[in-house]
Amino acid sequence: MSLRVVSGSSNTGLAGAVAGACDTELVDCELSTFPDGERRARVAPLVGDDVFVVQPTGPPVNDHLIELALLVDACRRGRSDRVTAVVPYFGYARQDRRDHPGESIGARVALDLLASAGVDRLVVVDAHTPTLEAMSSVPMEMLTAVPLLADAVRDACRAATVIVAPDLGAAKLAEHYAACLSLPVVVVRKQRLSGSEVRASTVVGDLGGGMALIVDDMVSTGGTIEAAARLVCDHGVRSVVVAASHVLPSGGGSARFEDLPIERVVTTDSLPHPLVPGGTIEEHSIADLVAATIRRLHGAPGQLPAPHP
């Protein structure tokens, strides 16, 4: 059973780097769109192969999700032996519960779509919620970029640095950064007003007045980071660094930070972003992390992943 890597259209740069780190090349495939907007996928022969389809489902989320399902189906119908979807950023993961009567649960629908297309296993990096694994009917490998991003900011973290969780949901993630960097954690109380606006009202913990490392799993519109940064600066913090595993390319997030003392936004290449020279966004590649997991799942000798703290 040969290890093969297929790329969807959402992040061919990452997929190519992952294939290279697995000592293979991307499988030839054709992805096209019919005049009515339907996507179509066709892959080269993969009979008996162990196939890894790399496709983060960032914006446009629906196109990338359906394309992933079509690629999985194409591999399955092409008689590959096993199909693993590598979805470093898993769109719809924020819809993990019903906040209001009558709502759908998007995370469950997205997972069921992939399972029904024939996926055998999923690989996800810093999923918005650990519940995603429990919701999935196929096994899921949950990876984390926190040690990678913590290393990237280690030198910038002076003695007076505190780690800031911009909402309660980010508190566990902040504890993971705290364990990597031996720094204290404070938590911001956030209320979401709309898809793009949030209100940060109080800080629980001692900010100290030095630097704040605001951590989150993702930046979409930038509203959460903007509100947290304004609040901590109002409380005496002088400079801010942001670490987020996923920065959505369409969110316009960093434009909202322009009048704030945000020195750097450190993220991964889970999603493609146009990097502006001299801009604040700094990318660190997860290709080696993903490739090591693929090799382990394929059966190559390797270590088990470290358990999440």
Figure out which of the listed residues 203, 218, 243, 290 binds ligand R5P, where binding follows CB under 6 A: 218
Figure out which of the listed residues 224, 245, 267, 268 binds ligand R5P, where binding follows CB under 6 A: 224
Stretch in the footprint of ligand R5P (CB under 6 A) among 1-9, 44-52, 111-119, 214-222: 214-222
Figure out which of the listed residues 20, 169, 261, 305 binds ligand R5P, where binding follows CB under 6 A: 169
Given a contact cutoff of 8 angstroms between Cβ atoms, the answer to whether 46 and 109 are in contact is no
Nearer to ligand R5P, 91 or 166 (CB): 166
172 is annotated as an active-site residue: no
75-111 burial string, b = 16+ CB within 10 Å, else e? bbebebebbbbbbbbbbbbebbeeeeeeeeebbbebb
Report the C-alpha gap between 169 and 257 in whole angstroms.
22
Figure out which of the listed residues 9, 10, 80, 220 binds ligand R5P, where binding follows CB under 6 A: 220
Report the C-alpha gap between 210 and 225 in whole angstroms.
18
Nearer to ligand R5P, 91 or 222 (CB): 222
Report the C-alpha gap between 135 and 116 in whole angstroms.
14
Nearer to ligand R5P, 8 or 223 (CB): 223
Figure out which of the listed residues 21, 72, 140, 170 binds ligand R5P, where binding follows CB under 6 A: 170
Residue with tokens 């969780």: 165
- Nearest-approach distance from CB 92 to ligand R5P, in angstroms: 12
Residue with tokens 């003392």: 261
Figure out which of the listed residues 216, 243, 257, 293 binds ligand R5P, where binding follows CB under 6 A: 216
Residue with tokens 């992952």: 18
Give the binding-site size for ligand R5P (rule: CB under 6 A): 17
Of the residues 108, 128, 190, 273, only one is catalytic, namely 190
Asked if 58 touches ligand R5P (CB under 6 A), the answer is: no
State the pairing for strand pair 185-192/198-204. Answer: antiparallel
Q: How far lies 181's CA from each of 72, 142, 146, 149, 264, in Å?
A: 39, 21, 11, 11, 17
Stretch in the footprint of ligand R5P (CB under 6 A) among 112-120, 147-155, 213-221, 298-306: 213-221
Query: Which of the residues are catalytic?
Result: 190
Using CB under 6 A as the criterion, which residues of the chain lie in contact with ligand R5P when the complex forms?
Answer: 94, 128, 166-167, 169-170, 198, 216-224, 253
